[in-house]
Amino acid sequence: MSQAKKHAFITGAGTGIGRSIALTLAAEGMRVTLAGRRHTPLTEVKNLIVDKGGEALVLDGFDVTDAASVEQNIAKSISFAGEIGVLVNCAGEAPSAPFDKTDLDLWNRVLGVNLTGTFIVTQAALSSLRLSGNGRIINIASTAGLTGYPYVSAYCAAKHGVIGLTRSLALELARTDITVNAVCPGFTDTPLLDNAVEMISGKTGRSIDDARASLARSNPQGRLVTPQEVADTVLWLASEKASAITGQAIPVAGGEVMGG
């Protein structure tokens, strides 16, 4: 199946990294399903794709933790664009709290969206990926899945779990034509990072610019990663050129984390 005929199913597709991934894969001629919670940003992405001659389906109100709903929506997307050739699990959230202030509701919510949601969506899409030929499962993890950060224990635990799931499933599927990889962005210039910057500023009294610069300094290149850089990595993993790459956790972080 050529790239131009593939169907890419992307969760968290309305903003940030998911948005860039959707636009990048659509620019390669893929039909894309845009799954996420909010109608307006998803529709904005769809309009950008359609304006350039592409095809996109919006699945708003998409809850990655609701298994029955996920199955129904995946069936709807297959009716729209055929079997899923590329699955990108990008839905996530990263609320911040000290460990002793992380209650069970917060813990369960963060693991539910970031880890259990990846499990549910992947399991629901797997039979379609098998049918599509040369399927690609690409999980957007984080450098938080490769190292530790303070005040985001639930997020770190969830993203470590995503990488473990990636490696396990890659071995299960190694003798098929499906590859499974994780992309691990460092601090990336997205709305999720904006929330972190506002929290740092509010708690420390530092300016927004100073708080943003402090996160950029964690990258040895002294800058924030761009969503497009993450999307370009996803595009490569989705291509035939990466057919021997599976079970990997690839940092996109300017050298902040070495290896994966």
Catalytic residues: 155
Q: In terms of DSSP bridges, do strands 136-140 and 7-11 run parallel, antiparallel, or are they unpaired?
A: unpaired
Structural element, H or E, at residue 196: helix 191-204
Candidates 136, 99, 92, 137; CA nearest to 116 is 92
Angle at 162 between CA 62 and CA 225, to 5 degrees: 85
Helix, strand, or coil (residue 86): strand
How far is 156 from 146, CA to CA, in rounded Å? 8
Structure tokens at 130: 């098998």
| Distance, C-alpha 105 to centroid of its chain | 23
Q: Quick count: other Cβ atoms within 10 Å of Cβ 105?
A: 8
Candidates 143, 178, 187; CA nearest to 163 is 143
Candidates 197, 133, 137; CA nearest to 167 is 137
How far is 77 from 64, CA to CA, in rounded Å? 15
Q: In terms of DSSP bridges, do strands 56-59 and 86-89 run parallel, antiparallel, or are they unpaired?
A: unpaired
Structure tokens at 115: 């880890």
Q: Quick one: DSSP state of residue 79?
A: H
Q: Taking a C-beta distance cutoff of 8 angstroms, is the pair 211, 201 a contact?
A: yes
